[in-house]
């Protein structure tokens, strides 16, 4: 047998399947364990609030609950997201950021804002 070659047919395919399943599992975990979910959360009793930038390292491995403002057709116009850290049943910290929407629809600098009517406007709606 030549050096570096497997004597088992399909050995490389097995590893591909394993890697694919692992990546799928991480993707699923991201959606259920961390990331964004639409809804509301109580933060008025939290001891401190830390503003973070969307997508920054400070958002990793945290579950953010977001409230979105949508157009008549359901396109997200804007949003506000918060992740709460609870210790001993008490809200210690809330991490928050404004959701930046890049929908690619309002690219003309004269009318850069998407409105509730799904049209582009010169001023925020």
Q: Report pLDDT digits (tens) over 63-75.
A: 999 999 999 998 8
pLDDT at 117 > cutoff 60:
yes
Separation CA 120–CA 124 (nearest Å):
9
Q: How sure is the predictor about 37, in pLDDT bands with cuts at 50, 70 and 90?
A: very high
The average pLDDT across 23-50 equals: 73
* DSSP 3-state percent helix, strand, coil across the chain (nearest 5): 20, 35, 45
Assess whether pLDDT exceeds 70 at residue 15: no
Q: Which residue has the tokens 């804002």?
A: 113
Q: What is the mean pLDDT of residues 103-122?
A: 88
pLDDT of the residue at 124: 84
């Amino acid at each position: 047998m030549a050096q570096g070659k497997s004597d088992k047919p399909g050995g490389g395919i097995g590893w591909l399947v394993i890697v694919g399943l692992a990546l799928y599992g991480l993707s699923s975990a991201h959606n259920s364990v961390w990331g964004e979910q639409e809804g509301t959360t109580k933060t008025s009793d939290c001891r401190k609030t830390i503003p973070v930038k969307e997508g920054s390292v400070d958002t990793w491995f945290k579950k953010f609950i977001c409230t979105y403002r949508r157009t008549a057709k359901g396109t997200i116009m804007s949003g506000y997201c918060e992740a709460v850290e609870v210790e001993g049943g008490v809200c210690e910290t809330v991490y928050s950021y404004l959701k930046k929407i890049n929908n690619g629809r309002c690219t003309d600098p004269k009318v850069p804002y998407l409105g509730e009517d799904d049209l582009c406007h010169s001023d925020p709606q």
